[in-house]
Amino acid sequence: MNWITVLTAYCKSRRNTLLLVAIYLTIILLVYWLYGLPWGPAFYASIIIIAVTIGFCVLDFHSYHKKTSQLHILKKQATLHLGELPLAYDLLEKNYQDMLYLMEERCQNAEEKTRQNAVDANRYYTLWSHQIKTPIAAIRLLLQEENLNCSALEQELFKTEQYVEMVLQYQRLGMDAKDLVLQEYSLDALVKQALKRVSTLFIHKNIGVNLSNLNRRIITDEKWLVFVIEQLLTNAVKYTQEGKVSIYLDKYSADTLVIEDTGIGIQPEDLPRVFDWGYTGYNGRLDKRSTGIGLSLCKQALLILGHSITVTSMVGKGTTVKLLLSREKFDIE
């Protein structure tokens, strides 16, 4: 770096100090003049002050030039490592460096999150592309039969639609709150909408539904909440061989929707991880088509909506899922 440019920058950065020295010299000379004192001591005092100032500036400029050169070299490198920065000269420089370290940490976290999202997306789309082949192949075989089994065909078509809906919601999840439409809805209407979509599953497995009075209005996003309820109902039917699925409001909390089944239940060791991305657990390993993504999507969607979800279960007795649908803060435009 051109030393003249550095010197000019140095003088600008130390102009207040140089101005203060000039003011001191002026005061000394003014006092001597006002009192009519001999100019000899004033002259020598001024020479000493100027010499000390020049000596200090030379040493200070050497340090300033060295630090500036190091920064200039670091700036030209392909990768910048903050650990190679010169030591902070004062508290102000230290604060600036601390801010840089914080920004670097945030950037690294964002990069790691982006990388992990890309890995998850690649894994999900790969799995999804294999999954959707199963119902499509089943539909193809059913269409080749002489006596068309409409019920079985409807089942496979429903599975295909669910896979498509899930991948659409997965893509929508990446948009976070940008795509939300928060309005007041009837909880009863939303639950019935989800039930209608999965009614084929209930009929096919001969699983009953016990729907209690859900006379409650909530603030939510219709598409997301219906998707969540649909996923929970699908799981309830999927792991219930006989019995029923009950849907009701918690008697201790009117804002809590409960979906309870009489299915096979969840293993105790699997409960803490049922919402982990890609975790299938014991039940999922029995069903080779399980992705371990549905419940994770549900929880992420509910977090965006400001809702929450909990799961309790007993092996051989059934599973109870609770959705807390109250919102402490919301904005409606």
Burial 197-225 (b: 16+ CB within 10 A, else e): bbebbbeeeebeeeeeebebebbbbebbb
Number of helical H runs and strand E runs in the chain: 10, 7
Q: Please report, to the nearest 10 degrees, the dihedral formed by the alpha carbons of residues 196, 200, 204, 208 taken in order.
A: -10
Amino acid occupying residue 123: R
Q: Sorting pLDDT into bands at 50, 70 and 90, what band is 119?
A: confident
Ordered by start, the domain boundaries in the chain are 3-86, 174-324
Q: How many CB atoms lie within 10 A of CB 274?
A: 23
Two tokens, residue 183: 């309005």
Contact 6, 65 (CB under 8 A): yes
Phi, psi at 308, each rounded to 5°: -145, 165
- pLDDT at position 309 is 94
- pLDDT at position 278 is 66
Amino acid occupying residue 237: V
Averaged pLDDT, 90-94: 77
Per residue in 226-259, pLDDT tens? Answer: 999 999 999 999 889 889 999 999 988 889 999 9
Question: Is 174-324 in CATH node 3.40.50.1260?
Answer: no
Q: What percent of the chain has pLDDT over 90?
A: 28
Q: First vs last Cα of the chain: how many Å apart?
A: 55
d(CA 155, CA 272): 32
Q: Sorting pLDDT into bands at 50, 70 and 90, what band is 158?
A: confident
Contact 215, 189 (CB under 8 A): no
Q: Sorting pLDDT into bands at 50, 70 and 90, what band is 217?
A: very high
Per residue in 293-323, pLDDT tens? Answer: 788 888 988 988 889 999 999 998 999 999 9
